[in-house]
Structure formats: structure tokens, C-alpha cells
Amino acid sequence: MKNIVHCAHSASSNAVTSTTRIPLLILNGMTPQHLDQIGQRFDVCYAPTPDTRAQAIAQQGARFRAVLTIGAVGLTAQEIAAMPALELVCALGAGYENVALDAARARGIALANGAGTNDDCVADHAFGLLIAIVRGMRTLDRQCRAGVWRDAIGLPPNVSRKRLGIFGLGTIGHKIARRAAGFDMEIGYHNRSPRAEVPHRYFPSLQELAAWCDVLVCATPGGASTRHRVNAEVLQALGPQGYLVNIARGSVVDTQALAAALRERRIAGAGLDVYESEPAPPQELVGLDNVLLTPHVAGWSPEAVQASVDRFLANAEGHFAGRGVVSPI
């Protein structure tokens, strides 16, 4: 995409003109099809790069009434201040860790996200990583291509009946637990406080959960409160037969501590969809054969992305119609 602000308007001859549509600034990458869908109803200024973003806000900030972003891209307090007409900020997905919520709330700006729109996709991906690392799929694929037969390979462990620890038993954590139940896994979890409505075992500390479980899955929100919660001590508690899966945010795991634990075989393996260096690959991990990496796609599928776009439209239209947003932050 060229390094300019691109305003996507409807090509439909019977669509209302841009002057009657609400000006919307989109800061995250989107497909042409979804830009067109949103552009049918809003006057869209598409600025998905740092340069186009800065240019759009500097030149057109006074007119924007809504912003669409994602948690990793965010929206700063300074940017909010540069948009005096702003009244709605939406995160396309569930995450909103880099959105300046306090600054928005101080202005009375409505806040919404896409909670629930990609939960199934994320839970599916988490379980795919779990199975792949426990069964050693990456190594088995390489060995098979090299002509190594099973007699020369050790026995990969079962997934069934392992103990699964979930760090962050929110909606996605619940869906991971439901999938784990199909594998007869015993489930424990750590949250800030126990949830009375669930039957799973609660652990008051993440380190205690790690010491108990065979596989630790991170499904907690990102942000300062969870930064490096999975540290050297937690990995040590997980132990040499333990596995780590992270589909939360890269900041939740201390990359240096994880790299050391994997190199020294102090944990058995890890499957990561998120990492601190993204979008650049985590150089500390790429050379290790006991880690499986995917490029932050756990929540990406045609179905999930369409659902998140539809949710944004529902949030935006609810706000501007005076009904309120569908899924407030």
C-alpha cells in the first residue's frame, strides 16, 4: 500500500455521499472487501501505517467522529486530543491494550470491542498448537521428510488425560477448556480471583498452577498488569515435562527466560502465536527445535474476521443511533 492516506468510499451509485456519512478513521489493516463493506455506511479514511496515520490525524483529525483500531495498534492520548469531534473508539478484536482508555473516558468517548467474535478461532488454534507441541509434529514432519522411520524415534506423549492449566479463564479460556474436556484433560486455572460458576480447580498463583499442570496455556489479556507474568520462576515450576502455549499477547511471556528454558530443556516445548518482537520473528527462538511459531493468526479466519467487522458495524451504528454500543469495554 502506498504511503498515503487512502479514503475508501462506496462505489455504489445509490449510496449516500461522504458528506452525509460519519467520518471514520481506520488504523488497522483490512481487506478491500471489508473496507468497502464499512465504506457503504461510513466516510472511511484508511491509515494503516505509521506515516499515513500521523498524516491523517494531523490533516483531518478535527473531522473524525469514530476510530477503528486493534489492541496491538492502539490509539494514544495525544491522538485522542487531536480529534476534538471524536465520540467512539472501537477495537476490531477483543484486545484493546494499547488504547488510551482513561483519556477516552475523560472525554466521555464511547469504547467498544469485538469481544467474542473470534473466540472459537483462537481456541481452535490454541488447541492445534497444544497437540502439535505435545506430539512433536514439527520434528516428526522434518524426520519423515528425511526418511526417518518410527523405529528410530522416541514415543511422543499422549495429549489425552494431561493436566491443562489455563492462565486467564475468560471467554477464550472457557472455550479452550471445553475442547480440553473432549480429550479427558483435567483442568486448572489462575485468575485474579476464582470463578464460582466453573467446576475447574482454582490456583491462587500462576507458579502453583504451572507446577501442577502438564500444559500451561496463556489466554489472559495483555497490558502492564500481565507483562512477563510467565517468567523464569513460572517456567521452572512448569518443569522439563511441561509445555507452554501462548495465544494471549507476547508481552505475557518473558522471551529471554523462555529461550533459556527451551535451550536448556528445562521445559519440554512451547507453541507461540504471539511474541514480544512481533511482527519481527523472535530471534531468540527461531533456531530452537522445541518451539512452534505462528505469526499471530490465532484469531484470523474468514469467519472470525467477518464476524468482527459485523460487530464493529453493530457497535458503531448502535452508538450513533443512540442505542449504545453492543459490546462496551
> What is the C-alpha separation between 215 and 200, in angstroms, rounded?
15
Grid coordinates in use for 108?
466521555
Is 178 one of the catalytic residues? no
| C-alpha distances out from residue 256 to 72, 187, 232, 253, Å | 21, 28, 9, 9
Q: Tell me the C-alpha to C-alpha distance, in Å, between residue 269 and each of 95, 120, 285, 295.
A: 26, 24, 11, 18
Tell the residue number behind the cell numbers 499515513, with chain if given.
Answer: 52
Kind and range of the H or E element at 104?
A: helix 101-106
List CB contacts of 205: < 8 A, sequence separation 6 or more: 190
- Selected catalytic residue, list 21, 174, 228, 296: 296
d(CA 115, CA 314): 12
Question: Is residue 278 flagged as an active site residue?
Answer: yes
Is 105 annotated as catalytic? no
Q: Which of 249, 284, 311, 319 is catalytic?
A: 249
Q: 25-38: buried (b, 16+ CB within 10 Å) or exposed (e) per residue? A: bbbbebeeebbbbb
Q: Which of 87, 186, 278, 317 is catalytic?
A: 278
Residues acting as catalytic residues: 249, 278, 296
